[in-house]
Amino acid sequence: MVKILSETKFLIRKFKDYYEKNLKNIPEVSSFSEREFAFIPWGDKFMKRHMGFSSIDFFKKLLTKNGPRHVYYSGALYKHPEVQHMEQKGYEQCDFLIDIDVDHFYTPCKVDHDYWFCKECFHNGSGIVNECKKCGSSKLKKLSWICKDCLNIAKNEIKKLIDNFLIPDFGINYEEMLIAFSGHRGYHLKIESEHLRNLNGDERREIVDYLTGENLDFEVLGLNKRRETVFGLSKESIGWSQKLIEEFERLLINRDELSKFLRTLDFKTSRPDFLINSFLNTTEILYEVINNKNYNEWSVEGFDINKWKIFLNGLASRVGAEIDEPVSIDTHRLIRYPSSLHGKTGFKVQELSIEELDDYNPLDESNPLLDPIVFQQEDVAIQLEITEENVPKTILKGTEFGPYVKGDISSFPSYMAIFLLCKQVAKPMSRY
Amino acid sequence: MTIGLDDIRRYPWLPSLKELYQNIAHMDRVEFVKYFFSKFEEENYKPRIINIFKASFENYERINDYTADELNVYIYPMLRILLEVLDKKRILNRIANLYSKHANYELEEDQIEILYHIAHDLSLDVKFYDEENALIIKKEYNKQDVRRDIKANFSIHFTDYLKLATYLHDRYRKLSHQSLIKGYVYLNRKGLARLLQEFVRNKMINIGSLERPNLAILKQELLTIEEFNELYELISQEWDNIKTDITPLDITFRKGENIKDLFPPCIREILNKADEQQNLIHNERLILVFFLLALNYPIEEITNIFSRLPDFDHGKTTYQIEFAKKKGYVPHSCDTIKSLKLCMAKKYNDEVCLKGYFAPSLSEQRQIKHPLSYVGLKKYRQQKKKSIQKQNGENSE
């Protein structure tokens, strides 16, 4: 009788192998000895944190010895990173961290590949929900997946952040920005700048509000009502006012997109169609008005100043970047260590330059030096049995796998087998 | 042009003071105080120092006999030492408000270039643009509906801007509402002067690096100096006079019933600030007024709370509270307070705000969504506790 190795043991072995073979490629992050390190071991939900290393050699030894499921380090620098209590660590500074993860925002493809299952009434469905559509319970089991489309959306968000905010507005230099594919559903961006390192949480929150466009006060930006007439924002007012008008202008020349956008807004009226049609019938005049330097009366039938605020709020959501806000505000956050493996996919956390980001395709990357899918060399097929009710279609390295249902048995190349095992949707059928 | 003697005499809080007045830069407090009294005549320094304290106690925004002379330079460190020894937060706040507002006045009256040199002296990363090179950052309408350009003569690195502007909690100073280009926030003269005002206020408020026992020793030593003791007593007397005009902060829901303890942390924080006579920002004032009005507080009671503030004007305050009552404004919800960054649940580690409360009828923990619900819940719990205690009392009998 063949003794079946547990999937965990198999994955530990694979992760250890990776670290042993790639030790020289594990980079040393800046101020290494002042960083806190943390690991999530296999088979353990709890993070082991508050570790400090005087040299990267000890850190690498730990990687090869344990092959941990997840590896993190702090954005902050401490005098004593190894101390258990945060207040005794001797906080000094913190890099500015940005996390863009498709988990935190809507992408259309989620309807195709994200599933949920209600633990209370056993109802299930696809897409993102916070509570069961049938019984309203929040006790849900969720299966979130990845595809080229949602990773592209995450990539575009990070590009938007760099091109529309960090470089032109904040004057951040290329060399201060460290970008990485997270190994799963998004990208990280770390800004290593002496200026930013000294900001506290409240000051970081101000930057986050700027990047996301949240908590804007449109009246401060210039929107105002005088004698029943609404005067809008000016294209010539530098800052968010200009950004909003540019987006407004872009929508005005794209009627279909404008119409779709207007339908996403909640105007708090019983006659939304009237408002939308009224807006669509005024696009030419509005276009002329926002480009007129001496006249700025925003006149659309049914639109009072509050409707304009709803409209501008919607525009701000389109213009702002979708970032995971607490990550950027909290100065004690941890992020994944570059070139470590992500325990939910088996993919590598891949550092990228801004130029490399443009054509980057993590699920089918042609440049081997940037390819996060590391388990491709082995020419062995691994037989797995699917253990999850529904496993969506996955396209890795140009090959389509699935969709599968519970009980399906199939052979997979090692990178796909490791991906499914890391996702905990399959179990091994044979000894490897 | 750099900071010269004339500038230091007008702005003695500048770091250049140490360079231009090296003779006092390394003196300890006692040494300085002795030197001060040996250098200046009582008839010159006493009225000016006392006047500053009186003006702050009266909530003035200007120091009427402010003179940019040599004595003014020495008065600044003397003020700081006096504040340290007086060791009263309310006095400190009042002096910080007055001194910083006066600084703003001087800055707005002075030559525009001096603001650049001052910012530079404070190690702020600031650039200056003369009229020809000033950038148009905004188009605005004036009251006659005529569009006008707002020009920026200055730009400041956004990290320096955040250090000074974040705690103003003023929506007009929010980074998202600024013109930010390549790392610099563009400001007009007024904007930069307001930031410098905040610098002066912070500098004044952050005095007192001494530990308590050392402060007691210092106080003892300084009070043995006759002239210092006299100043100290005079100021304390002035303060006692004004203090008797300030009724203790007592929030009463219905006559005889103190419900201040039932207030959520956000409201308690604002009340504490008012109690310490710190300046309240616009939103804090609105939150407090709408909240107290919703609890049927009498207008005079609310006006009394505001009477402690540095910029209190009885007529205006009463009018505004009456207007708010007439309009029936709804008090701010927790979400709104959070968005204004005035939620204090974490700071006060308030269990009800952070974890919500258990509603048996719903078999689940519910979050508090409104400060008024917080008061309701606390009141319910208080009454329940009382009735249990009463019941237990009856049973034991």
CATH number for the domain spanning A351: value is: 3.90.920.10
| pLDDT band at residue A4 under the 50/70/90 scheme | very low
Give residue A167's domain range. Answer: 11-103+147-206+326-374
User: What is the 3-class SS of chain B, one letter each residue?
Assistant: CCCCHHHHHHCCCCCCHHHHCHHHHCCCHHHHHHHHHHHCCHHHHHHHHHHHHHHHHCCCCCCCCCCCCHHHHHHHHHHHHHHHHHCCHHHHHHHHHHHHHHHHHHHHHCCHHHHHHHHHHCCCCEEECCCCCCEEEEEEECCCCCEEEEEECEEEEHHHHHHHHHHHCCHHHCHHHCEEECCEEEECHHHHHHHHHHHHHHHHHCCCCCCHHHHHHHHHHHHCCHHHHHHHHHHHHHHHHHHCCCCCCCCEEECCEECHHHCCHHHHHHHHHHHCCCCCCHHHHHHHHHHHHHCCCCHHHHHHHHCCCCCCCHHHHHHHHHHHHHHCCCCCCHHHHHHCCCCCCCCCCCHHHHHCEEECCCCEEECCCCHHHHHHHHHHHHHHHHHHHHHHHHHHC
Closest CB from A206, A241, A293 relative to B162: A206
Does residue A294 contact residue B149 with C-beta atoms inside 8 Å? no
Does residue A2 have a pLDDT over 70? no
**Residues of chain A contacting B157 with CB distance shorter than 8 Å:** 195
In chain B, domain spans: 5-108+210-242, 111-201, 249-397
| C-alpha distance from A186 to closest chain B C-alpha (Å) | 26
- pLDDT tens per residue across span A82-118: 999 888 999 999 999 999 998 877 788 887 878 888 8
Least confident stretch, A185-199, B228-242, B291-305, B359-373: B359-373
Does residue B236 contact residue B86 with C-beta atoms inside 8 Å? yes
Considering only residues B130 and A128, tell me which one the structure prediction assigns the higher pLDDT.
B130
Based on the fold, state whether residues A225 and A288 are members of the same structural domain.
yes
Contact B171 A237 (CB under 8 A): no
Based on the fold, state whether residues A258 and A294 are members of the same structural domain.
yes
Does residue B120 have a pLDDT over 70? yes
Does residue B395 have a pLDDT over 60? no
- Final residue before a domain boundary, out of A95, A122, A143: A143
**Distance between CA atoms of B229 and B89, rounded to whole angstroms?**
20
Query: Residue A430 has what pLDDT?
Result: 63
Least confident stretch, A144-153, B79-88, B320-329: B320-329
- Rounded to an integer, the average pLDDT of B204-213 is 73
Q: Which amino acid is at B355?
A: K
Based on the fold, state whether residues A130 and A274 are members of the same structural domain.
no
Q: Which residue of B has its CA nearest to A210?
A: B176
- Rounded to an integer, the average pLDDT of A151-177 is 95
Based on the fold, state whether residues A272 and A292 are members of the same structural domain.
yes
Give the residue from A167, A169, A231, A293 with the most B CB atoms within 10 Å of its CB, the best one to mutate: A169
Least confident stretch, A185-189, A292-296, B101-105, B255-259: B255-259
Based on the fold, state whether residues A139 and A154 are members of the same structural domain.
no
Contact B138 A296 (CB under 8 A): no
| pLDDT band at residue B396 under the 50/70/90 scheme | very low
| pLDDT band at residue B356 under the 50/70/90 scheme | confident
Does residue B227 have a pLDDT over 90? yes
- pLDDT tens per residue across span A9-42: 889 999 999 999 999 999 999 999 999 999 999 9
Contact B174 A171 (CB under 8 A): no
In a domain, A2, yes or no: no
Contact B139 A199 (CB under 8 A): no
Does residue A1 have a pLDDT over 60? no
| pLDDT band at residue B143 under the 50/70/90 scheme | low
Q: Which residue of A has its CA nearest to B181?
A: A169
Q: Which residue of B has its CA nearest to A294?
A: B147
- pLDDT tens per residue across span B192-204: 999 999 999 988 8
Contact B183 A199 (CB under 8 A): no
Does residue B125 have a pLDDT over 70? yes
- pLDDT tens per residue across span A166-210: 999 999 999 999 999 999 999 999 999 999 999 999 999 999 999
| pLDDT band at residue B312 under the 50/70/90 scheme | confident
In a domain, A6, yes or no: no
Least confident stretch, A241-245, B1-5, B19-23: B1-5
| pLDDT band at residue A305 under the 50/70/90 scheme | very high
Considering only residues B356 and A277, tell me which one the structure prediction assigns the higher pLDDT.
A277
For the stretch A174-196, what's the b/e string if a residue is b when 16 or more beta carbons lie within 10 angstroms of its beta carbon? Answer: eebbbbbbbbbbbbbbbbbbebb
Give the residue from B163, B175, B182, B336 with the most A CB atoms within 10 Å of its CB, the best one to mutate: B175
Least confident stretch, A60-64, A134-138, B30-34: A134-138
Give the best-scoring range by mean pLDDT among A128-132, A224-228, B66-70, B328-332.
Answer: B66-70
| C-alpha distance from A193 to closest chain B C-alpha (Å) | 11
Closest CB from A171, A206, A234 relative to B182: A171
Q: Which residue of B has its CA nearest to A200?
A: B163
Contact A205 B341 (CB under 8 A): yes
| Residues of A at the B interface, defined by Cβ within 8 angstroms | 168-172, 195-196, 198-199, 202-203, 205-207, 209-210, 213, 215-217, 220-222, 224, 226, 231, 234, 236-241, 293-294, 296
Contact A215 B166 (CB under 8 A): no
Does residue B383 have a pLDDT over 70? yes
Contact B139 A213 (CB under 8 A): no
Closest CB from B139, B339, B341 relative to A234: B139
Contact A237 B138 (CB under 8 A): yes
Based on the fold, state whether residues A77 and A170 are members of the same structural domain.
yes
Considering only residues A80 and B355, tell me which one the structure prediction assigns the higher pLDDT.
A80
Query: Residue B348 has what pLDDT?
Result: 85
- Rounded to an integer, the average pLDDT of A281-307 is 89
How many CB pairs below 8 Å do chains A and B form together?
95
Does residue A331 have a pLDDT over 50? yes
Closest CB from A168, A220, A239 relative to B171: A220
Considering only residues A370 and A431, tell me which one the structure prediction assigns the higher pLDDT.
A370
Contact A236 B178 (CB under 8 A): no
Based on the fold, state whether residues A96 and A129 are members of the same structural domain.
no
Average model confidence (pLDDT) across chain A: 91
Q: The whole model's pTM is what?
A: 0.81
Considering only residues A430 and B198, tell me which one the structure prediction assigns the higher pLDDT.
B198
CA neighbours closer than 13 Å in the CB half-sphere of residue A259 = 8
In a domain, A92, yes or no: yes
Query: Residue A217 has what pLDDT?
Result: 93
Closest CB from A205, A222, A236 relative to B136: A236
Least confident stretch, A166-180, A350-364, A365-379: A365-379
Based on the fold, state whether residues A172 and A275 are members of the same structural domain.
no
Q: Which residue of B has its CA nearest to A215?
A: B339
Query: Residue B377 has what pLDDT?
Result: 82
Which tokens is B5 given?
A: 């003697």
In a domain, A211, yes or no: no
**Residues of chain B contacting A315 with CB distance shorter than 8 Å:** none
**Residues of chain B contacting A168 with CB distance shorter than 8 Å:** 181-182
**Distance between CA atoms of A307 and A244, rounded to whole angstroms?**
15
Question: Domain tally for chain A?
Answer: 4
Least confident stretch, A37-41, A425-429, B224-228: A425-429
Does residue B249 have a pLDDT over 50? no
Contact B176 A216 (CB under 8 A): yes
CATH code, domain carrying A404: 3.40.5.50
Closest CB from B141, B179, B341 relative to A239: B179
The burial class, CB within 10 Å (0-12 / 13-18 / 19+), for A132 is buried
- Rounded to an integer, the average pLDDT of B177-186 is 97
- Final residue before a domain boundary, out of A89, A124, A143: A143
Based on the fold, state whether residues A16 and A127 are members of the same structural domain.
no
**Residues of chain B contacting A236 with CB distance shorter than 8 Å:** 136, 138-139
Contacts by A148-153, CB closer than 8 A, 24 or more apart: A148/A361, A148/A363, A148/A364, A148/A395, A149/A107, A149/A108, A149/A109, A150/A102, A150/A107, A150/A109, A150/A110, A150/A185, A151/A102, A151/A185, A151/A186, A151/A361, A151/A362, A151/A363, A153/A102, A153/A107
In a domain, A404, yes or no: yes
Closest CB from B147, B171, B186 relative to A238: B186
| pLDDT band at residue B347 under the 50/70/90 scheme | confident
Based on the fold, state whether residues A272 and A302 are members of the same structural domain.
yes
Based on the fold, state whether residues A410 and A391 are members of the same structural domain.
yes
Query: Residue B326 has what pLDDT?
Result: 79
**Residues of chain B contacting A209 with CB distance shorter than 8 Å:** 174-176
| pLDDT band at residue B209 under the 50/70/90 scheme | low
Least confident stretch, A253-262, A392-401, B61-70, B139-148: B139-148
| pLDDT band at residue B247 under the 50/70/90 scheme | very low
Contact B166 A203 (CB under 8 A): yes
Based on the fold, state whether residues A276 and A419 are members of the same structural domain.
no
Query: Residue B185 has what pLDDT?
Result: 97
For the stretch B362-373, what's the b/e string if a residue is b when 16 or more beta carbons lie within 10 angstroms of its beta carbon? Answer: eeeeeebebbbb
Does residue B280 have a pLDDT over 90? no
